[in-house]
Amino acid sequence: MDEHLGMRPDPLQKHPRRFSKKIKPAVMASDALTYGKTALNKTKSVLWKLAKSTGKAAWITATSGLILLVPLIIEMDREQQLVEFETQQLGALTGGSAAAK
């Protein structure tokens, strides 16, 4: 028997005709299994990469928005409050003088 060092000989190679009827359907079933496994692995890696890049995009958008937009909104709000306060004051002054007249 030609035994390789520690490796068992392939049964299909040694006795091809004896195993053909039993192993062929089993081989075909294991082909389907490996196909299914690789498809699942690929889907998992694609979904993981998608999640990571979505996370990266969310981080970039959130931090850039925090730096660029939040101070702008706060300052515009303050400016608007100041303008409202001033028009109110002006209205009170002119309203008061009109009422006094």
Partner 1 sequence: MASTAYAAEPPSNAPPRAGVVPPPPPPLASSPLAADLSKLTKPDTREVVDYLKLPPPVKYEELQRESMMSLKPELFEGLRFDFTKPLNQNFQLCHSIFMGNVDVPTQNNQPVKMAMGTYEFGANLVSSKGDMMIGRILTDGRMSARIKYDVNDFVSLKAQMNLASEPGMSHGMLDVDFKGGDWNGQVKLGNNEFYGLNYLQSVTPSLALGGEAFWLGQQRKSGAGFAARHADAAHVATCQVATTGLVSLTYLQKVSEKVSLAADFLWNWNTREANAAFGYDYILRQCRLRGRVDTDGKVAAYLEERVNVGVNFVLSAEIDHWRKDYKFGFGMTVGE
Residues that bind partner 1 (CB under 8 A): 60, 63-64, 67-68, 71-72, 75-76, 78-79, 82
Taking the complex as a whole, how short is the minimal distance between the CB of residue 58 and partner 1, in angstroms?
13
* Between 24 and 52, CB nearer to partner 1: 52
Q: How far apart are CA 60 and CA 58, in angstroms?
A: 6
* Between 38 and 63, CB nearer to partner 1: 63
Secondary structure class of 54 (helix, strand, coil):
helix
* Between 31 and 84, CB nearer to partner 1: 84
Identity at 58, one-letter amino acid code = A
**Other C-beta atoms lying within 10 Å of the C-beta of residue 9:** 12
* Between 72 and 90, CB nearer to partner 1: 72
Tallying the residues shown for the chain, one arrives at 101
**Other C-beta atoms lying within 10 Å of the C-beta of residue 98:** 8
Residue in the block written with tokens 């928005």: 65
Taking the complex as a whole, how short is the minimal distance between the CB of residue 60 and partner 1, in angstroms?
5
Taking the complex as a whole, how short is the minimal distance between the CB of residue 36 and partner 1, in angstroms?
39
